[in-house]
Amino acid sequence: MSASRSASTLPPGPPTRRFVNMVRWLVTPLPWLDELAARYGNAFTMRMPRLDTPMVIFAEPDAVRELWTGDPLELHAGQANAVLRSVLGEHSLLLLDGERHLRERRLMLPPFHGDRMRAYGDAMRDAAAREIERWPIGRPFPVHRATQAITLEVIMRTIFGVGGDDARVAPLRDALVRWTALGTSRLGTALLLLVPPERALDVRQLARRPWGRFLPWAKIVHAQAETDRLMRELIAARRHEPTGGRDDILSMLLEARDDTGAAMTDDQLRDEMLTLLLAGHETTATTLAWTIHHLLEHPAWLDRVRAEVRELGDGSPLLDAAIKETLRLTPIVPMVGRMLAKPRTIGGFDLPAGAFALASIYLVHHRADLWPDPARFDPGRFVGKKIDPSTYFPFGGGARRCLGMAFASYEMKIVLATILARTELAAAAGARVKLVRRGITFAPSGGMPVVMTARR
């Protein structure tokens, strides 16, 4: 349905019980979205446990455009991301709305654009080259874990000004890797999506009791606590070091002052640093792995992209197009949302205050009328073309579009160009890669095993 139709009641949706809806969303999220879209069209309502207000999913560009251009004081992205509070903390940029969000976004934007961003290009190339040297020849290895190692190294240099092997940050890196692995497991994902944010603290407290080590989620809680402790120790130590002349994000935020002259608290710094560490490497690493997967599945495109990379390096338009097509075909998150602070008409439907309006990245990116033969990998869709942000939005849109979009795109081009120039890769024999859930993101199964047949 388009935004031109007259306002009406909520769109229809599945009559199943809320718990069943949640199980379907946990276990078979994308097939379920396909099923709902086929049954109800480009707008449908879902009811979930713990939510008194509806979730309305839109796969209609007109409705998506309304979400991007609407008043952010009325369309709250921070409240729509409340499920992440137990992981990122209440001060995370992803959980803020209104003036507070604008203030912290302005503080954190400079390192992710312009000359500051490009200054990290050498670090990105070096991180990729060092990781490639560790890859075995002729033996399968999980390339997703390798891209995670690269992107974590890059984001740690960006945030702290030193690499993950530096003695000052190596314990934090190791703790973060452990916590991420546990937190994105099936159990960690279930805890994240099934435990209400307001009850998450109670669940963690149970694991800290004398008998708590026997609880199945105890390892996750202790890994999170260790990461938090090391992060706070690092912040405290840096407060006593001179920050002049440093261009890392932590130094910049330690010096930042708001309009009243107040500095950021340790809690604020912890939440923002953790948000950047998690969001700044996990999603980028997954997109890198998916891009390698699609190129290996389509040798003709791989040959074309590799040839252009040899000529133009990471400035290859075709390489950029391959990344964009990967984000269209296999988006890392399936939807982005807003919580309505007051009643509002979106897509021709009357939504009450408190409702969640979600733009489905996956469904819009797979509409045959917008993307002919949508299941086909075709980077040519993006070569020399300007794309409507209401039909293609892997990084979200409007005032809440991902802060690190330009940084992530730049990093992915550099890392992939380095991999294509220095290696010959092939899919591992017998490996069947499928999409699996990792927390709120979707990644290739089994770490996406590949074989390096030669190192250049």
Rounded to whole angstroms, the Cα distance separating 215 from 211 reads 8
- Would you say how long the chain is, in residues? 456
Using DSSP bridges, classify how beta strands 55-58 and 43-46 pair: parallel, antiparallel or unpaired.
antiparallel
Rounded to whole angstroms, the Cα distance separating 27 from 186 reads 10
What one-character-per-residue DSSP string does 308-337 give? HHHHHGGG-HHHHHHHHHHHHHS-SSSEEE
- Burial bucket for residue 134 (CB in 10 Å: 0-12, 13-18, 19+): exposed
175, 178, 184, 188: CA torsion to nearest 10: -90
pLDDT at residue number 12: 95
pLDDT at residue number 5: 43
243, 246, 252, 254: CA torsion to nearest 10: -20
Residue 163: both structure tokens together: 């690499």
What residues have CB less than 8 Å from 432, skipping those under 6 apart?
445
Rounded to whole angstroms, the Cα distance separating 424 from 173 reads 29
pLDDT at residue number 56: 97
Residue 336: both structure tokens together: 């982005």
Contact present, 420 and 305 (Cβ < 8 Å): yes
pLDDT at residue number 4: 40
pLDDT at residue number 3: 41
Ranges of each domain in the chain: 18-455
pTM of the model: 0.93
Q: How far is CA 319 from the centre of its chain?
A: 21
Using DSSP bridges, classify how beta strands 55-58 and 356-360 pair: parallel, antiparallel or unpaired.
parallel
Rounded to whole angstroms, the Cα distance separating 208 from 237 reads 27
- Which pLDDT tens digits describe the chain residue by residue (456 residues)? 344 444 448 999 998 888 899 889 988 999 999 999 999 999 999 998 877 889 999 999 999 999 999 999 999 999 999 989 989 999 999 999 998 898 888 888 877 878 888 888 998 999 999 999 999 999 999 999 999 999 999 999 988 988 888 888 999 999 999 999 999 988 888 888 878 777 777 777 877 788 877 788 889 999 999 999 999 999 999 988 876 667 788 988 888 887 788 888 999 999 999 999 998 899 999 999 999 999 999 999 999 999 999 999 999 999 999 999 999 999 999 999 999 999 999 999 999 999 999 999 999 999 999 999 999 999 999 998 899 999 999 999 999 999 999 999 999 999 999 999 999 999 999 889 999 999 889 999 999 999 999 998
Q: What are phi and psi of 12, to 5 degrees?
A: -70, 170
Q: Which CATH superfamily is domain 18-455 in?
A: Cytochrome P450 (1.10.630.10)
Q: How far is CA 282 from the centre of its chain?
A: 7
What residues have CB less than 8 Å from 341, skipping those under 6 apart?
73, 74, 75, 76, 353
